Amino acid sequence: MPTANEIVDDLRATILASPGVSEISVDGISIKREHLLRELNYWERRAARENGNLPNSASIDLSSG
């Protein structure tokens, strides 16, 4: 199974290889550019988490009481 970093690289290459394309259809399956961008965002965050650059949970400010 590919790592999150490999998936990020593949998604970026796919997006950069087809500027201006709004939808890709392969074997009857259509994928919109917006979906690819959401997937890229998800995998970038997952890769950052795996690399230790992003915490597993959001920080909560408890000082405002």
Residue 64 resides in a domain: no
Residue 41 resides in a domain: yes
The residues near 20 (Cβ < 8 Å, ≥ 6 apart) are none
pLDDT in tens, the chain (65 residues): 889 999 999 889 888 888 888 888 878 888 888 888 999 999 999 999 888 887 666 677 778 75
Residue 3 resides in a domain: yes
User: Structural domain of residue 1, as residue ranges?
Assistant: 1-14+28-55
List, as one string, the DSSP characters of 2-63: --HHHHHHHHHHHHHHSTT--EEEETTEEEEHHHHHHHHHHHHHHHHHHTTSS-SS-----T
Q: How many domains does the chain have?
A: 1
